[in-house]
Amino acid sequence: MGTGRRGLIAMAVTVVCGVTVLAAPATAFAAPAPLPSKAPTSAAKASPTPASPTPSAPSSSASPGTSAPAPNKDLEAVREKLERLYREASVATDSYNAAEEKAERQSAAIVELAKKIVAGQEKLADLKKRAGAAAASQYRTGGLPDEAQLLLSDDPHDFLDGAGRVLQGQRATKGLIGEVARTQQDLEQYAADASAQWKNLEANRKAKDAARTKIKKRIAEAEKLESRLEKAEKKRLAELEAEAARRAQTAWLDSGALDDAGGKATTAGAKAVAYATAQIGKPYVWGAEGPDSYDCSGLTSQAWASAGDPIPRTSQEQWKQLPHVAVKDMRPGDLVIYFEDATHVGMYVGDGAIVHAPRPGRTVTIAGAGSMPILGVVRPDA
């Protein structure tokens, strides 16, 4: 937020207080394996039933000072727990992004209300000045009202002219009084609106802080768990993640989901795909929208913005607001929404593949579109 906007918001708070006185009477996805010609087969499928494992203790047959590699079932449990932790971080990230988006809108609304309040105060000052001029004019005429001065006139012509001026003066006075009252009411309403927006802004600030705390906690837990693994265990864990992704992708393709697919990208869709794939290799950072790092919806929203078709910032709002299309009808540029709570999103690039920003510790990559549980598909340029 720029200095000018902060200044306007600060001014709005001050004005609100002043006017109030006057008015008193907020998954661990595996790094992809090379994609075959038929379809990509990467990224890990989320497990719905997480466990709470730890790497195996040193075996009695191991050399002193070393740990024996954990059995596959123990590493599978580790994989599931990592998925759970990163999924929880992903959910919190969507909450953080939603609160951030709302806060930006509320800040903009406060700025606009501040401008209206300033303009209203200037108008009220002008009206008061005009009222003061009218009072001064009355003082110069001896304090007599226009009607009394009219009755004292001896000239009939002056009398008739004066009568017209009296009527005009009365209408002008009534109009001035009415305008002062309406301006005062407007200022009171602007102050109330600004106060409400300020409360909403504060609530979203707290929501962002809570989400940020949860994100950091879950990522720290996952990193601590991974740090306990030996080098060989980490390698095998990555293999298990890739295997899970391949199984999910193969099952999805075998279901016939893409048998009738073959839609072509629109001009805008091709631009969005080009932008998203150009980010491959850049790190995932929660809350990031580029250009150096992205989270999942930061990547898709920026890709479509680059194509000239802005979309909602979060995966949940993308799911809610964008038109839904059948999986069999999807085309490059469409967005694939994942998990029942719509907390992950990737962009379909064709041939059964997506480009996405997976999770902390990973980079933007190509993965199998069916390697995670698909909620549905939305089309930004329907």
**Catalytic-labelled residue, pool 17, 157, 296, 324:** 296
Q: Is 356 a catalytic residue?
A: yes
CA–CA separation, 210 and 299 (whole Å): 23
Q: Which residues of 2-32 are buried (b: 16+ CB within 10 A; e: fewer)?
A: eeeeeebbebbeebbeebeeeeeebbbbbbb
CA–CA separation, 231 and 216 (whole Å): 25
Query: Would you call the peptide bond into 32 cis, given omega within 30 degrees of 0 as the criterion?
Result: no
Cβ-contact 44, 33 below 8 angstroms: no
CA–CA separation, 222 and 359 (whole Å): 11
Q: Is 157 a catalytic residue?
A: no
CA–CA separation, 167 and 153 (whole Å): 16
Residues marked as catalytic? 296, 344, 356
